[in-house]
Amino acid sequence: MINLEELKLYLLVIRWDSTYIDGYQLYDQFLIYMTQLKKFTFYIKTEVSFQTVRFELPTNEDIQRSFIGRRYPRVTSYAYTQSVPFDGVCHIYSLPYDFEYFVDLDNSFQGGMFKKVRLLKMNDRIPFEHNFFELISQDFPFLEFLYIDNNYPQKDNQH
């Protein structure tokens, strides 16, 4: 893969007794060896669970900072802790988002424009409220398939 010029990576990772994949790890263990890479589009979701060793998980700002000054495109992320059944989950992806699906979006989603996404899977850690669905309808304008795992009732169910 040393001569690879374009890479589109969609990666879901579960880690035990570790931390999120971030820009440092991605570069030091992977991209540094791809010297011909000109275009890199990615989505990486890391789920971490602690069984024997507990790490302090990086914040969303720490994750985003880890991508600065490397050969990355514009990147955004959202990370949250105490996600059942995991201790933490982190989504990182290049912008503009270049995939037709987005999996495991939840209430910690902060928005963005996802014009290519046709399939969205959502699950609630806290109840989905009406304003969250308004955000989804604006940010995913070409959505065709919506899957919702709804475990908690709405608190404001006027809509």
Cβ neighbors of 25 (< 8 A, separation 6 or more) are none
Report pTM: 0.84
- Give me the phi and psi of 61, to 5 degrees please: -65, -40
**Which residues, in sequence order, are bridge partners of residue 36?**
none
Predicted pLDDT at 114: 93
- Give me the phi and psi of 19, to 5 degrees please: -130, 180
Per the CB < 8 A criterion, the answer to whether 94 and 56 are in contact is: no
CA–CA distance, 111 with 157 (Å, rounded to integer)? 22
Predicted pLDDT at 68: 86
Half-sphere exposure (CA, 13 Å, Cβ side) for 108?
A: 15
Sequential pLDDT tens for the chain (159 residues): 678 899 999 999 999 988 899 999 999 998 888 889 889 999 999 999 888 877 788 888 899 889 887 777 788 888 887 666 678 889 999 999 999 999 888 887 878 889 999 999 998 777 888 888 899 999 999 999 999 988 767 776 665
Closest CA to 48 of 14, 92, 25: 14
Predicted pLDDT at 81: 77
Amino acid at 117: V
The DSSP output letter for 31 is G
